[in-house]
Amino acid sequence: MTSYVKIMPNSQIPKCSGPLVAVLAYDGLCTFEFGVAFEVFGLPRPEMGSDWYRYAVCGIESGSFKAAGGLVVSATANRAVLRKADLIIVPGWRGIDAPVPKSLIADLVRAHSRGARIMSLCSGIAVLAACGLLDQKRATTHWRYATSIGVRFPGIRLEPDMLYVDEGDVLTAAGSAAGIDLCLHVVRKDFGPEAANSVARRLVVPPHREGGQAQFIQRPVARERDNARLGPMIDWLRERLDQPHSIKYMAARAGMSLRTFQRRFEQVTGLPPGEWLIAERIRLAQEHLERDAIVTLEDIAAKCGFGSVETMRHHFRRRAGTTPGVYRKRFSLAARQLAGSTVIA
């Protein structure tokens, strides 16, 4: 028996004045990804104040839609809402190879041209790709779809190991649950780390997950003795990120040959040793930038093992898509209170 769901706004909730988020609804709607977008952007959060997100469900065609899980969905807004939305979310697509209506492509391209952010969750990358919004840009999707998308759209710089990729005006998430990571990232950018942490606590999820989806791709599971040998060493490294660590030294400390260590380290962490070290140093630098508004970038670079601000800035741009100074201005509560007195690097 099919259930019927009409997605209606709650008239008892005070209206917000923040960014307008429009989530697409369509025949074959991916309900998990749709639910993720609603939980983060559509669920009433009066504790966040009146400048929190506004939310709309945009039906790409008229009438009701059959959604995954035996539901029938009727949207409360049509594509007119795309003309004013600040963030448009494609919550997965009905099929990685399913055609995208030309009229929808035109609407999304127009919205993007006027400054709206366009975001896909999981297979929703197919819609962004069809719009040409990912040409010569980094993007990710579920590892099962990476080959198909890469063949059909060779101009996309796919990074299938990433949980999500933020290119500023276009954002993509990997598998379904990675949509939570990307949505929290957007909240973090728009409202700061405290807001993202609050939403994460309510969802009972970590505000930030380490690693990428490489750790979820089918591969031989690392043997328990490898975890036992590498676990203590990984903890040891995290306590000494300010120090230089060669891969050769790490392998010797783990009591493995260089080739064996590199292979098993990636099996356990999802990243090669060198990339893991950079990711951990970026994470530590982010913590300092959020917490220590007065500490200089030179001191943070030294504390995190980068050696110089230039090296930290290079890896920050590559990994976080921004500079340490801009990150500090966006995410440090103290920096926001100082009203922009922090110098941007």
DSSP state letter for 58 = E
Residue type at position 235: D
Q: What is the DSSP string of 214-243?
A: GGGSS-PPPPHHHHHHHHHHHHHHHTTTTS
Lookup result for tokens 């997965």? 92
**Helices in the chain by DSSP H: which ranges?**
31-37, 102-113, 125-130, 146-152, 178-191, 193-203, 224-238, 247-254, 258-269, 273-291, 297-303, 309-320, 324-331, 333-337
Residues with catalytic roles: 122
Angle formed by the axes of helices 273-291 and 309-320, nearest 10°: 100
- 73 DSSP assignment: E
For residues 91 and 94, give the distance between their C-alpha atoms in angstroms, rounded to a whole number.
10
Both tokens of 239, joined, read: 């306590």
Per the DSSP assignment, residues forming a β-bridge with 58 are 24, 77
